[in-house]
Amino acid sequence: MTEFMQALPDGWTIYLWMVAAGGIIIAAIYGIRWAYKNEQFDEDIKYLVFDEKDRDKMSPEEFAKSQAVNAAQEKRRAEVLAKQRAARSAEQGS
């Protein structure tokens, strides 16, 4: 193997680095695409850690926003779970 490496012309390592960089760029694009499709870019995620006990720590507007975000997330969760159940039952029925 060392003989093969030494027989290569000068400057071959740049191509190796270019292939590695291309792989990294493709992996990053794939990761961003996955995150977008799985609703990972949510600005309101910070409100999901609060519940009714945190009312006194927040302004009324923030608390209302927190409750609205929680309700929307629970609704979306129910939709996704129903979709997954339907897909499983269709898969088992086939």
Structure confidence by residue, pLDDT tens digits, 26-41: 999 999 999 999 888 8
What is the pLDDT of the chain when averaged over all its residues? Answer: 89
Please give the angle made by the CA atoms of 80, 81 and 87, to the nearest 5 degrees.
90
Alpha-carbon distance values, 67 to 8, 64, 93 (Å): 64, 5, 39
Q: Is the pLDDT of residue 75 over 90?
A: yes
Q: Quote the pLDDT of residue 50.
A: 81
Q: Which of 3-7, 10-14, 25-29, 41-45 has the highest mean pLDDT?
A: 25-29
94, pLDDT greater than 70: no
pLDDT mean over 79-90: 92
